[in-house]
Amino acid sequence: MAGKDADKGKKKEGKKEVVHGKKKEVKKETGLGLSYKKDENFGEWYSEVVVSGEMIEYYDISGCYILRPWAMSIWEILQTFFDAEIKKMKIKNSYFPLFVSPAVLQKEKDHIEGFAPEVAWVTKSGDSDLEVPIAIRPTSETVMYPYFSKWIRGHRDLPLRLNQWCNVVRWEFSNPTPFIRSREFLWQEGHTAFATKEEADEEVLDILELYRRIYEEFLAVPVSKGKKSELEKFAGGLYTTTVEAFIPNTGRGIQGATSHCLGQNFAKMFEINFENEKGEKAMVWQNSWAYTTRTIGVMIMTHGDDKGLVLPPKVATTQVVVIPVPYKDANTQGIYDACAATVKSLNESGIRAEADFRDNYSPGWKYSHWEMKGVPLRIEIGPKDLANNQVRAVRRDNGAKTDIPVANLVEQVKDVLDSIQQNLFETAKQKREACVQVVKTWDEFAEALGQKKLILAPWCDEEDVEKEVKTRTKGEMGAAKTLCSPFDQPELPEGTLCFASGKPAKKWTYWGRSY
């Protein structure tokens, strides 16, 4: 069996081996494992796993990171899916400049107040000070909407539905974290205008469903769809919907992606008016929505383990890695040929597979390397596998090993990959559900918060009460806040009181600490 073949191969690590007539120093397995454990030091574990898994490289400007191909390819898979879906909705791609003039930026006061501390400014050109500083976009409402007012004149110009794939810069924050919180990040941002609120409301939820699919169907991360509180909604918007994820190891919620109805606030500021069918002047209703490279960080935090990354098959650059395991007087060429044939048949069937033929690394070293990079399935081919016309398949998610006859290769590999995708989602869902604590009183809330729970509590929906909860829970770990009020509301019995104020409760809301 390939497993035994590999074990014998491991014993030779560090010794000189003759491969293809040349003497090679075969690399030992040392230095590959992670120094930190996910359960013991989550922050250090995460920092280590994103670098060791070749997702990012640190850059010499704090809060900026290089996205390596292993990460970028995941972004491209998500982009391909989302771009095709929004095109079905008749949303068109465009591109607007990176720079914003201060006059335009200041026009929408509530909105820019929410972003003011994070806006980066260009103040010089060479050695000369600019007469008027120029802002770098933290988001593009104020960049785009002056032109919406130019392009929209009558009801026939509506709806106007644009998206752009771009980068944004948000400068000020205390704890940069790769993917999760960085000074520059990639995203898509959709900006749309409608004649009626009903059309805008419908799109908000259509887009939110696409965000749920990105997390649950592609990244295998369970999320809750819901509405943000008035305090937590998008600055200057009417209401904000969100998909919220939760990281059990840290007991923190994380905003996955947001879809906002902006109402008519920006239309008023930027004079985006149109003549309706009755010949009357009216203001448009607008939405904006975005998801970012944060999605990748949430996936890593959810599935990664003490061996490194664990990638869901749907987004993995390489879904299957094929490793030859020759030893002693094995038919090395025959094994290499079998590996090449395996990769060829998998690739032809649409599975992303590659072989690792590097002859200066032992099979054991390669196993650790590809486990660190999170490849969903490893196929090993050794002398016994060659003799039995089979391959040994090892799953990354649970380590389960199976022997697959070459005759059934493609079909069984597809089944295993589907099973891995499903298992990652189900496991993450169970872990998340185990963290949900329903509370009715302040004491229960405080206890659950201390136990890193995702708290579901009845709330009176009053902003002052939410502010007071933040004040009362301030501490080293950060204050608790509302994460979202889920659309899927449990029954709220008559007479239920708010856990924090004792007033009549209006809804169930998720609370917790967050990223």
User: In total, how many domains does the chain have?
Assistant: 3
Q: Residue 124 corresponds to which amino acid?
A: K
**Co-location of 120 and 212 in the same domain:** yes
Q: How many CA atoms lie within 13 A of 124 on its CB side?
A: 3
CB 309 within 8 A of CB 296: no
Separation between Cα atoms, residue 346 and residue 361, nearest integer Å? 24
Element (H, E) at 336: helix 332-348
Q: Which of 61, 167, 169, 171 is nearest to 117 (CA)?
A: 171
The residue out of 274, 303, 332 marking a domain boundary is 303
Is residue 279 included in any domain, yes or no?
A: yes
Kindly give the interhelix angle for 69-88 and 294-303, rounded to the nearest 10 degrees: 120
Residue 430 is assigned to a structural domain of this protein: no
Assigned domain for 428 exists = no
Residues 108 and 206 in one domain: yes
CATH at 271: 3.30.930.10
The distance from CA 459 to its chain's CA centroid, rounded to whole angstroms, is 29
CATH code, 349: 3.40.50.800
* H or E element at residue 128: strand 128-136
Per-residue pLDDT tens, the chain, 515 aa: give them. 444 444 433 333 333 333 344 444 555 544 578 999 999 999 999 999 999 999 999 999 999 999 999 999 999 999 999 999 999 999 999 999 999 999 988 887 777 787 888 999 999 999 999 999 999 999 999 999 999 999 999 999 999 999 999 999 999 777 899 999 999 999 999 999 999 999 999 999 999 999 999 999 999 999 999 999 999 999 889 999 999 999 999 999 999 999 999 999 999 999 999 999 999 999 999 999 999 999 999 999 999 999 999 999 999 999 999 999 998 788 999 999 999 999 999 999 999 999 999 999 999 999 999 999 999 999 999 999 999 999 999 999 999 999 999 999 999 999 999 999 999 999 999 999 999 999 999 999 999 999 999 999 999 999 999 999 999 999 888 899 999 999 999 999 999 999 999 999 999 999 999 99
Q: Which helix (H) or strand (E) holds 359?
A: none
Q: What are phi and psi of 34, to 5 degrees?
A: -80, 150
Task: Answer yes or no: is 215 within a domain.
Answer: yes
SS3 call for 68: coil
Spatial neighbors of 246 by CB under 8 A, at least 6 apart, are: 252, 253, 254, 432, 435, 454, 512
485 with 388, same domain: the answer is no
User: Domain for residue 9, yes or no?
Assistant: no
- CATH number of the domain at 483, please: 3.30.110.30
Question: Is residue 20, in this structure, part of any structural domain at all?
Answer: no
Question: Are 128 and 162 within one domain?
Answer: yes
Q: For residue 103, what are its two tokens?
A: 């006059």
Q: What share of the chain is helix, strand, coil (3-state, %, to 5)?
A: 35, 30, 35
Whether 5 is in a domain gets the answer no
Cβ–Cβ < 8 Å for 457, 447? no
* Token pair in block for residue 9: 């191969």
| Whether 330 and 380 share a structural domain | yes
Kind and range of the H or E element at 105? helix 102-105
Tell me which of 303, 330, 355 is where a domain ends. Answer: 303
Residues 281 and 330 in one domain: no
212 and 95 in a single domain? The answer is: yes
Of 243, 270, 303, which closes a domain? Answer: 303
Domain assignment present for residue 27? The answer is no
At 352 the three-state DSSP class reads coil
Predicted TM-score (pTM) of the model is 0.92
Same domain, 485 and 385: no
Domain identity same for 288 and 380: no
Alpha helices for 264-331 (secondary structure H): 265-270, 294-303
Q: Where are the alpha helices (DSSP H) in 263-317?
A: 265-270, 294-303
Which residues form the domain of 358?
320-417
299 lies in the same domain as 153: yes
Phi and psi angles of residue 332, each rounded to the nearest 5 degrees, phi first: -55, -45
Nearest to 289 by CA among 230, 359, 212: 212
Considering the domain architecture, whether residues 137 and 247 belong to the same structural domain is answered as yes
- 370/455 same-domain check: no
Q: What are phi and psi of 222, to 5 degrees?
A: -70, 140
What is the three-class DSSP state of 91?
Answer: coil
CA distance linking residue 160 with residue 342, whole number of Å: 49
